[in-house]
Structure 1
Amino acid sequence: MAANDDGIAGETSGLKIVTNLSVVFLVVLWLIPTIGLLVSSFRDRDAISSSGWWNAPFATEQNFAASAEGEFRQTPEGWVLEGNVFGEDGSGEVISFGGRRSEPNAFAPGTTGELVRGRTLTVETNGDYVYVDPDEEQPSRNPTVYFGTKVPPSFSTENYETILASAGMDVAFINTLTVTIPATIIPILVAAFAAYALAWMDFPGRGVLIAVVVGLLVVPLQLALVPMLTFHNTIGIGQSFYGIWFAHTAFGLPLAVYLLRNYMVGLPRDIIESAKVDGATDFQVFTKIVLPLSFPALASFAIFQFLWTWNDLLVAKVFLPSNSESWVMTVKIADDLLGSRGGDWGILAAAAFVSIAVPLLVFFTMQRYLVRGLLAGSVK
Structure 2
Amino acid sequence: MEGMAGRSARLTWAVNLAAALLVVLWVVPTLGLLVSSFRDRDQIAASGWWRAAFPATASSFVRAGTAADQVEMNGLWVIAGSVLAPGQGLQAWGTSARAPEAYAPGDVADLKAGAALTVAADGRYQLTSPTPFTEKRGLRIFVTTIAPPRATFENYARVIGAEGLGRAFLNTMTVTIPATVIPILIAAFAAYALAWMQFAGRALLLAAVVGLLVVPLQLALIPLLRLHNEIGLGKGYLGIWLAHTGFGLPLAIYLLRNYMAGLPKEIIESARVDGATEFQIFIRIILPLSFPALASFAIFQFLWVWNDLLVATVFLGNRPDQLVMTGVLRELLGSRGGDWEILAASAFISIAVPLLVFFALQKYLVRGLLAGSVKGG
Superposed pair shares fold, TM > 0.5: yes
Paired residue for 1:375?
370
Paired residue for 2:343?
348
Asked whether the equivalents of residues 313 and 330 of structure 1 are also in contact (C-alpha less than 8 Å), the reply is yes
Report Cα offsets for 1:93-125 as digits up to 9, x if no partner.
42233558x889464325556779996543244
Instruction: Give the counterpart letter for 2:78 in structure 1.
Output: V
The answer to whether residue 201 in structure 2 is matched with residue 205 in structure 1 is yes
- After superposition, the Cα gap between the structure-2 partners of 1:13 and 1:121, relative to the gap in structure 1 and judged at 3 Å, is farther
- After superposition, the Cα gap between the structure-2 partners of 1:373 and 1:149, relative to the gap in structure 1 and judged at 3 Å, is same
The answer to whether residue 289 in structure 2 is matched with residue 293 in structure 1 is yes
1:2-41 superposed matches below 5 A: 14-41=10-37
Cα distance in 2, alignment partners of residues 319 and 92 from structure 1: 50
1:92-171 superposed matches below 5 A: 93-98=89-94, 105=100, 107-110=102-105, 121-132=117-128, 136=132, 145-171=141-167
Unaligned runs of 5+ in 1: none
Asked whether the equivalents of residues 70 and 133 of structure 2 are also in contact (C-alpha less than 8 Å), the reply is no
Normalised by the size of structure 1, how large is the TM-score?
0.87
Instruction: Give the counterpart letter for 1:232 in structure 2.
Output: H
Question: Alignment partner for residue 251 of structure 2, among 249, 255, 259?
Answer: 255
1:175-324 superposed matches below 5 A: 175-324=171-320
Asked whether the equivalents of residues 93 and 142 of structure 2 are also in contact (C-alpha less than 8 Å), the reply is yes
Cα distance in 2, alignment partners of residues 122 and 208 from structure 1: 85
- After superposition, the Cα gap between the structure-2 partners of 1:340 and 1:144, relative to the gap in structure 1 and judged at 3 Å, is farther
Instruction: Give the counterpart letter for 2:71 in structure 1.
Output: F
Structure 1 residue ranges, 4+ long, deviating more than 3 angstroms after superposition: 7-14, 63-71, 82-87, 102-108, 110-122, 132-146, 340-343
Paired residue for 2:77?
79
The answer to whether residue 361 in structure 2 is matched with residue 363 in structure 1 is no
Pairwise CA distance, 1:61: 0.9
* SS of structure 2 residue aligned to 1:227: helix
Report Cα offsets for 1:29-70 as digits up to 9, x if no partner.
101121111111111111111111111000001346667577
Asked whether the equivalents of residues 182 and 245 of structure 2 are also in contact (C-alpha less than 8 Å), the reply is yes
Asked whether the equivalents of residues 104 and 147 of structure 1 are also in contact (C-alpha less than 8 Å), the reply is no
Instruction: Give the counterpart letter for 2:146 in structure 1.
Output: K
Report Cα offsets for 1:359-380 as digits up to 9, x if no partner.
1221222112111111132112
Cα distance in 1, alignment partners of residues 261 and 88 from structure 2: 71
Instruction: Give the counterpart letter for 2:245 in structure 1.
Output: T
Pairwise CA distance, 1:287: 0.3
Pairwise CA distance, 1:354: 0.3
- After superposition, the Cα gap between the structure-2 partners of 1:123 and 1:247, relative to the gap in structure 1 and judged at 3 Å, is same
Asked whether the equivalents of residues 68 and 142 of structure 1 are also in contact (C-alpha less than 8 Å), the reply is yes
* SS of structure 2 residue aligned to 1:324: coil
Moved more, 60-69 or 156-165: 60-69
Cα distance in 2, alignment partners of residues 254 and 48 from structure 1: 43
Q: Percent identity?
A: 56
- After superposition, the Cα gap between the structure-2 partners of 1:190 and 1:315, relative to the gap in structure 1 and judged at 3 Å, is same
Pairwise CA distance, 1:213: 0.7
Instruction: Give the counterpart letter for 1:79 in structure 2.
Output: W
Root-mean-square deviation over aligned CA pairs: 3.1
- After superposition, the Cα gap between the structure-2 partners of 1:56 and 1:258, relative to the gap in structure 1 and judged at 3 Å, is same
Cα distance in 1, alignment partners of residues 213 and 184 from structure 2: 16
Moved more, 253-262 or 345-354: 345-354
Cα distance in 2, alignment partners of residues 116 and 230 from structure 1: 74
Asked whether the equivalents of residues 96 and 106 of structure 1 are also in contact (C-alpha less than 8 Å), the reply is yes
Unaligned runs of 5+ in 2: none
- After superposition, the Cα gap between the structure-2 partners of 1:127 and 1:136, relative to the gap in structure 1 and judged at 3 Å, is closer
Instruction: Give the counterpart letter for 2:250 in structure 1.
Output: P
- After superposition, the Cα gap between the structure-2 partners of 1:220 and 1:12, relative to the gap in structure 1 and judged at 3 Å, is closer
* SS of structure 1 residue aligned to 2:11: helix
Cα distance in 1, alignment partners of residues 196 and 245 from structure 2: 23
Asked whether the equivalents of residues 73 and 81 of structure 1 are also in contact (C-alpha less than 8 Å), the reply is no
Normalised by the size of structure 2, how large is the TM-score?
0.87
Cα distance in 2, alignment partners of residues 283 and 8 from structure 1: 45
